[in-house]
């Protein structure tokens, strides 16, 4: 058996290599969806295709990355092709690499002394890859071909140089070609970082020692997962949940039979609705992600994410159903909405075994907003983001207000970046007061976010759920809603719809609140009170929305909330939670008048006195995987960067 300290050092180095890959992609990306919202994931695999390390990025990629890599390598092998040294493979076909067409996967085979030792893989959400609507996720898509361009495994990099024909193919099928090329460049850079770090470990310890360390890490993760599962009581649970169809009816049923015996967990989805002529179908890799996420949420959060931690879990999904469709069923929303409901389904089944360990239901939707069109100069543009909701109350604490939950782990798009790049104005961004369910502990509040079109014309597509069926809990959370204001008249919109926009039109997205926990204690009306015991700011009172002519620097209320990796006691280690409030000058003056400074009489804004405020020049910027100090990647830029500037335009 290998020395445990050496094995731990190797395992930790590879985990951080994945984090470095993510930092490289973020820093080099062009689109706000990757650069600002961090909608990408990175992982390392050994030569056998086993997941050995994955950064805590996007939970919906937890099972789809390993599933997708194995299928991509098998696809190439069936055609007599083996990824060569110096190559990278690009693929977005969801029936090969998992998830949906927007998630472009880039694979880098890693060779040491002409021997394949592993793969560096990343997946990033490209805002537009063609299709019927801007954003490439039409809510009414009947098949995969309506959702955008389908890219089978192709060579993106050969002899460490981008293949121009492949890049041009992806550019030609997007409404935002410049951003597509830039994001591809970022993904290439990320894989080079992962390869460099992996080969450094191999060079230092030797291939044999690294292989033994990886085998030991997988066995250790399996042992720890089995030990955590033994803490759950044995039993068999049949559970179901629903998705809302295009009419808003809860007609699409998901069923699971969960059996817990000793240190193993088996799930059977027999009875789940058949695949739909809607984009709500989720490929098998996405279904696996929901299961693995739920298991990690209720077990030890410090168990390494690798193939060993998945061994005690067995999943069966009948082919041709919503959670394992046959090609060419549309899958655009399956990755975002159906994955969320699958997480609710599995967590709900586990709650039947150990209700004291699971929270109430969260908002249960990624609340997708896709906008795009032509601005006043004739330039085409596209925008995509998911929106937070209320987190379900926990057995020992309230839920969190306005966060991304379960299968997404992204940020909001900063208003400054959005309004600078696009002909949009954010007219409202605030918590949805009263939307959290009551109980002994209250559910988190959803959010309200509104967009107005400043110029040109556009098409909006909305994909959400929990507009009809509220999140469950001691008291149910509030449902979400969509509205359109056109020529001064406000009308209700469906949860899943596409509509044209004219200059001045405003769309408002209200997201669902989380369910409460227990039946006695805090009513929902207490959501607006400041609770100093957990240092959580109270929800601010609603203020008048911004009108379209106002300048962009008079934002009423901006919040930036980091996402927990899971909705139990797990802590988001990818980036610290943070909230930033920007208040109008008038409101700031009013606050100063209410709270004059005791020392000098000059009115000042009250600040938290628990810790002195640092000077701006000394404040650290908390980045994913970077704590503000020396960083090897940032201080040693890849030599490939200069080459890429000239290769991809």
What string of DSSP letters covers 544-597? Answer: PPPPTTS-TT--S-----PPPSSSSS----SS---------HHHHHHHHHHSB-
Q: CA-CA distance, 43 to 33, in Å (whole number)?
A: 19
The predicted structure's pLDDT at residue 228: 96
Q: In what order do the strands lie in the sheet with 496-501?
A: 380-385, 368-374, 457-463, 496-501
Answer yes or no: is pLDDT of 431 > 60.
Answer: yes
Collect all residues with Cβ–Cβ distance below 8 Å to 70 and sequence separation of at least 6. Answer: 49
The residue whose two tokens read 């620097």 is 553
* pLDDT above 90 coverage of the chain, percent: 77
Q: What is the average pLDDT score of the chain?
A: 84
Q: What is the C-alpha to C-alpha distance for residues 303 and 243, in angstroms, rounded to an integer? A: 32
Question: What pLDDT, on a 0 to 100 scale, did the predictor assign at position 89?
Answer: 98
Q: Are 435 and 446 spatial neighbours (Cβ–Cβ below 8 Å)?
A: yes
User: Which tens digit of pLDDT belongs to each residue from 187-231?
Assistant: 999 999 999 999 999 999 999 999 999 999 999 999 999 999 999
Look at residue 543 and tell me whether its pLDDT is greater than 90: no
- CA 636 distance to own-chain centroid: 29
18 upstream amide cis, omega within 30 of 0: no
Q: Where are the alpha helices (DSSP H) in 371-510?
A: 415-421
Dihedral-angle region of residue 431 (phi above 0 means left; psi in -120 to 50 means alpha; beta otherwise) = beta
- Residue 27 near residue 33, CB atoms below 8 Å: no
How far apart (Å, rounded) are the C-alpha atoms in residues 33 and 25? Answer: 12
Cα(32)–Cα(643) distance, rounded to whole angstroms? 23
For the entire predicted model, the pTM comes to: 0.82
Lowest mean pLDDT among 447-451, 609-613, 615-619: 615-619
486: Cβ–Cβ under 8 A, 6 or more apart, which residues?
502, 505
Residue 599 has pLDDT above 70, yes or no: no
- With cut-offs at 50, 70 and 90, classify the pLDDT of residue 520: low
β 264-268/313-316 pair status: parallel
Q: What is the dihedral of CA 169, 170, 173, 176, to 10 degrees?
A: -130
């Amino acid at each position: 058996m290998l020395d445990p300290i050496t094995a731990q050092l190797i395992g930790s180095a590879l985990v951080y290599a994945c984090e470095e890959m993510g930092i490289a992609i973020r820093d080099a990306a062009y689109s706000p969806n990757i650069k600002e919202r961090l909608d990408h994931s990175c992982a390392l695999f050994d030569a056998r295709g086993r997941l050995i390390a994955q950064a805590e990025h996007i939970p919906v990629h937890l099972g789809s990355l390993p599933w997708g890599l194995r299928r991509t390598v098998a696809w190439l092998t069936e055609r007599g092709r083996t990824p060569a040294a110096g190559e990278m493979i690009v693929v977005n076909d969801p029936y090969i690499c998992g998830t949906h067409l927007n998630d472009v996967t880039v694979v880098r085979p890693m060779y040491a002394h002409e021997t394949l030792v592993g793969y560096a893989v990343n997946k990033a959400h490209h805002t537009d890859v063609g299709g019927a609507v801007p954003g490439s996720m039409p809510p009414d898509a009947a098949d995969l071909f309506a959702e955008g361009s389908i890219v089978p495994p192709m060579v993106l990099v050969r002899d460490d140089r981008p293949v121009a024909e492949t890049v041009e193919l992806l550019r030609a099928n997007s409404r935002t070609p410049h951003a597509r090329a830039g994001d591809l460049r970022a993904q290439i850079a990320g894989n080079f970082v992962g390869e460099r770090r992996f080969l450094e470990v191999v060079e230092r310890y030797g291939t044999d020692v690294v292989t033994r360390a990886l085998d030991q890490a997988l066995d250790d993760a399996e042992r720890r997962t089995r030990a955590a599962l033994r803490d759950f009581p044995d039993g068999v649970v049949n559970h179901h949940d629903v998705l809302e169809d295009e009419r808003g009816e809860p007609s699409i049923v998901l069923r699971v039979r969960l059996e817990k015996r000793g240190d193993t967990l088996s799930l059977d989805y027999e009875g789940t609705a058949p695949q739909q002529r809607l984009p709500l179908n989720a490929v098998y890799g996405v279904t696996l992600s929901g299961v693995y996420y739920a298991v990690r949420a209720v077990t030890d959060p410090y168990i390494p994410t690798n193939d060993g931690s998945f061994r005690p879990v067995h999943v069966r999904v009948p082919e041709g159903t919503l959670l394992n469709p046959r090609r060419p069923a549309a899958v655009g929303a399956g990755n975002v909405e159906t994955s969320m409901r699958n997480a609710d389904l599995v967590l709900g089944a586990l709650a039947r075994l150990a209700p004291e360990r699971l929270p109430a239901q969260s908002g249960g939707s990624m609340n997708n907003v896709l906008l795009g069109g032509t601005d006043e100069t004739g330039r085409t543009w596209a925008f995509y983001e998911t929106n937070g909701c209320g987190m379900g109350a926990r057995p020992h604490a309230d839920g969190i207000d306005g966060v991304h939950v379960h299968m997404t782990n992204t940020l909001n798009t900063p208003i400054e970046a959005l309004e600078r790049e696009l002909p949009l104005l954010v007219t409202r961004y605030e918590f949805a007061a009263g939307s959290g369910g009551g109980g002994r502990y209250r559910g988190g509040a959803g959010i309200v976010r509104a967009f107005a079109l400043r110029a040109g014309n556009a098409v909006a597509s909305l994909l959400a759920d929990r507009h009809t069926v509220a999140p469950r809990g001691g008291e149910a959370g509030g449902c979400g809603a969509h509205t359109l204001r056109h020529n001064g008249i406000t009308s209700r919109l469906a949860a899943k719809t596409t509509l044209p926009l004219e200059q001045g039109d405003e769309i408002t997205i209200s997201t669902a609140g989380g369910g409460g926990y227990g039946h006695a204690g805090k009513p929902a009306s207490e959501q607006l009170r400041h609770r100093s015991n957990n240092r959580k700011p109270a929800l601010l009172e609603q203020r008048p929305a911004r009108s379209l002519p106002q300048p962009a620097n008079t934002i009423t209320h901006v919040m930036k909330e980091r996402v927990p990796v899971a909705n139990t006691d797990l802590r988001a280690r990818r980036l610290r939670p943070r909230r930033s409030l920007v208040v109008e000058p008038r409101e700031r003056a009013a606050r100063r008048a209410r709270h004059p400074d005791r020392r000098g009489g000059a009115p000042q804004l009250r600040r938290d006195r628990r810790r002195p405020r640092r000077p701006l020049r000394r404040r650290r910027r908390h980045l994913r995987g970077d704590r503000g100090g020396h960083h090897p990647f940032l201080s040693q830029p890849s030599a490939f960067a200069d080459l890429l500037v000239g290769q991809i335009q």
